[in-house]
A = this chain, B = another copy of it.
């Protein structure tokens, strides 16, 4: 086995009614420089509520928690229970105010730790993808 790696939270998701924002911690402020030239970002967060030994050892799930969906390996799902609790969401930037990025929506809980932000690039758009029936 290989070494483990350490993730440092760089910010936090905030949800207040329908307003969704991403706070970037002061120490990481410079990392945002130039982000205003992009329209969309990929927000990487950590499913911190599932950070237990048991959940990190779960390798098969019923997708979307629905028993009607066939038992499936976590790497073939977006399950929030998986060995490394990385979540991704593609968000549209509404505005950036200082170290706060206001976005259209995000499928995460309030106060979820953010671990990375990457800009969406034209090459991310993949065509002709095939998915199983349960998707």
* A1 partner residues in chain B, CB cutoff 8 A: 9, 25
A39 within 8 A of B: yes
Query: Is A54 an interface residue when CB atoms closer than 8 A count as contact?
Result: no
* Contact residues of A between 23 and 64, Cβ < 8 Å to B: 24-25, 28-35, 37-42, 44, 46, 48, 51, 56, 59-60
A100 contacts B by Cβ under 8 Å: no
A73 with B34: CB separation less than 8 A: yes
Q: Which residues of B contact A51 (CB under 8 A)?
A: 5
Complexed CA–CA distance, A46 and B7 (Å): 11
1/0 per position for A95-135, CB-CB distance to B under 8 A?
A: 00000000000000000010111111111111111111001
Q: How large is the interface on A (under 10, 10 to 19, 20 to 34, 35 or more residues)?
A: 35 or more
Nearest B-chain residue to A130, judged by Cβ = B39
Determine whether the beta carbon of B124 is less than 8 Å from that of A90.
yes
**Alpha-carbon distance between A85 and B4 when the two chains are bound, in angstroms:** 12
Residues of chain B contacted by A123 (CB below 8 angstroms): 90
Q: Which A residues are within 8 Å of any B CB, using their own CB?
A: 1-10, 12, 24-25, 28-35, 37-42, 44, 46, 48, 51, 56, 59-60, 70-78, 82-86, 88, 90, 113, 115-132, 135
For this complex, 6 residue pairs linking A to B, each with C-beta atoms less than 8 Å apart, are A2-B12, A30-B73, A31-B60, A37-B76, A38-B76, A75-B117
